[in-house]
Copies of this chain bind each other. A is one copy, B any other.
Amino acid sequence: MEGLKLVLSGPSGSGKGTIVQELLKSDNFKLSISATTRNKREGEIHGVHYFYKSKTEFEEMIKNDELIEYAHFCDNYYGTPKVFINEVVKEGFDIILEIEVQGALQVKRRYPDAIFIFIMAPTFKELKERLISRNTEVPEVVEKRLKRAREELLLFKEYDYIVINDNLEEAIEQIKYITKSEKLKSKHYKEHIQLMLEN
């Protein structure tokens, strides 16, 4: 059976990044690697952190419809190449696409069979506290992120599942339940049942 495409979104402070890192410790998950035109930073590896592309190469990928979503940020392109995802799911791995809400909506049009999971902190108060306790963001940035989280949360209906990250272990378990359960969907059993009926 082909692997699943899991699109994970959630505001800064939702714990999405940590959840993804933990999921990747399981054998069956792989992370989708984005393409970007931004410069490689020290310690980053091509094909691990990003696929690094020139502006011309990236625009060629757009033209050839090789990306399932892309955005232009601070003079650089960021996007998700199709071919890598298709290869990984064909090998049977579940691929995680960590994508913000607008990108996720683009993916939904391309991959209606992908599974959309929105990760959220239990409350906005808790989200704020987590952002503040990071100690890396000035108050204006915290407020901006909260405003954005609110806008994103308004689109929750576009997602299949909501995971409230109150407890990290539970949140991870919930995503694993979703994955296991999605694999039992009847649409995946067409060939299997066909074979049963023939024998």
Contacts and interface: CB of A to CB of B under 8 A. Distances in A.
A184 B196 contact: no
B199 A186 contact: no
A193 interface: yes
A101 to B, nearest CB: 13
Contact of A178 (B153, B181, B196): B181
Contacts of A161: 181, 184-186
A182 B181 contact: yes
A177 interface: yes
Interface string A160-199: 1111100000000010011011101111110011001101
Interface residues of A, number: 33
Given A162-B193, A196-B123, A157 B181 contact: no
Prevailing SS type, chain A contact patch: helix
A159 B189 CA distance: 11
Contacts of A174: 180-181, 184
A118 interface: yes
21 contacts: A118-B186, A120-B196, A124-B196, A125-B199, A153-B193, A153-B197, A156-B186, A157-B186, A160-B186, A161-B181, A162-B184, A162-B186, A162-B189, A162-B192, A162-B193, A174-B180, A177-B177, A177-B181, A178-B181, A178-B184, A180-B181
Interface of A: 118, 120, 123-125, 150, 153-154, 156-157, 159-164, 174, 177-178, 180-182, 184-189, 192-193, 196-197, 199
